[in-house]
Homo-oligomer: A and B are copies of this chain.
């Protein structure tokens, strides 16, 4: 059962059923253009991450502005993108399990498909499936450039695995996956710069070794919204994987620039629209959006439009707003826009983006890969 949309096209914003996931289309489009222009100006490829939006509609908008394709994290996400018309998907992650690897190889008959490996076991499974489906899979060797998650160690282990990929039937060594996830949310530019400089040195260690071994490394792919200017500046990457820039969130808004001010390259376009359902006390309002409407891993949502009103507690279906001006504050039935703490897992809770411009619903985009975790 798919949840019906919370709005009709043409409806005034105030009539949208809540909780709903709103996209401010003017801001969203400006964010898309800003990143596309940045990448084009610097001569670097842009392959935005679809784990943020999970919507082929948005992926195609990104490609219309020059993106070369999208990244995905899961086979199911890649399937949704390809079925939605995206011709080029890179699963920037390892894929494990006989059935999943078979689905990946099968998908390569419908679109350009790439994937990561960080272990000989991945290489063997991918090669077998690619042969079975008579396709060639592009395989990136994932290198741990500091995030401490997946990836081989830089240097010889990366070279060894690249050799295995290059030698495996029906696989093509496509380059290196080098994403420093934990650098994205470091607050100061100094911290982020140090981490990306360190990552760049690790990338160069690998590309130098590959070059010395006569193995062509077509592409190094990585970077996120929090650090991408640093990856560009380093010259070590040829492709950007940023995702969150299209929406932003309360956590990214806490990143600081050179001057110690919140970064302002991209503006908030994603909101959870909520209704005040109870006013039990003058200093408190209860809204209808709680833990099933936000991921709170990076903190509680932030109230967008009401100064002096703070979202201070989330339960399954309720949010508590603390109200500074106890003589005023919102009334039962009033609607408020809330900024999610973390955009990606918040989007994954919804079936529809409600696109709004000039106070009116202009579009409803299905979140086709919502819940596509396998």
Contacts and interface: CB of A to CB of B under 8 A. Distances in A.
Contacts of A297: 291, 296, 314
A19 interface: yes
Interface in A136-156: 144, 148-153
Most buried by B among A118, A316, A320: A316
A308 interface: no
A292 B333 contact: no
A370 to B, nearest CB: 8
B119 A278 contact: yes
A333 B97 contact: yes
Contacts of A122: 332
A186 to B, nearest CB: 15
Contact of A316 (B277, B286, B344, B350): B344
Most buried by B among A93, A153, A275, A278: A278
B144 A280 contact: yes
Contacts of A315: 149, 181
Interface in A351-372: 351, 366, 368-372
A296 B297 CA distance: 6
A349 B371 contact: yes
Interface stretch (A25-33, A58-66, A72-80): A72-80
Contacts of A316: 51, 73, 344-345
Given A96-B332, A280-B151, A17 B118 contact: no
Given A73-B316, A97-B275, A121-B332, A292 B348 contact: yes
A332 B119 contact: yes
A318 interface: yes
B345 A371 contact: no
A211 to B, nearest CB: 24
Interface in A285-344: 286, 288-289, 291-293, 295-297, 314-318, 320, 332-333, 342, 344
Nearest to A121: B332
A87 interface: no
A278 B17 CA distance: 42
Interface stretch (A1-9, A105-113, A167-175, A213-221): A1-9
Given A2-B1, A18-B97, A73-B317, A280 B150 contact: yes
A100 interface: yes
Most buried by B among A122, A144, A291, A320: A291
Going nearest first, the 3 A-B pairs with the smallest beta carbon separation are A150-B278, A73-B317, A291-B345
19 contacts: A1-B366, A1-B369, A3-B76, A15-B99, A51-B316, A94-B277, A94-B278, A96-B277, A118-B280, A119-B278, A119-B279, A148-B280, A148-B284, A149-B315, A150-B286, A150-B318, A288-B373, A291-B342, A349-B371
Interface of A: 1-3, 6, 15, 17-20, 51, 73-74, 76, 80, 93-97, 99-100, 118-119, 121-122, 144, 148-153, 181, 275-280, 284, 286, 288-289, 291-293, 295-297, 314-318, 320, 332-333, 342, 344-345, 348-351, 366, 368-374
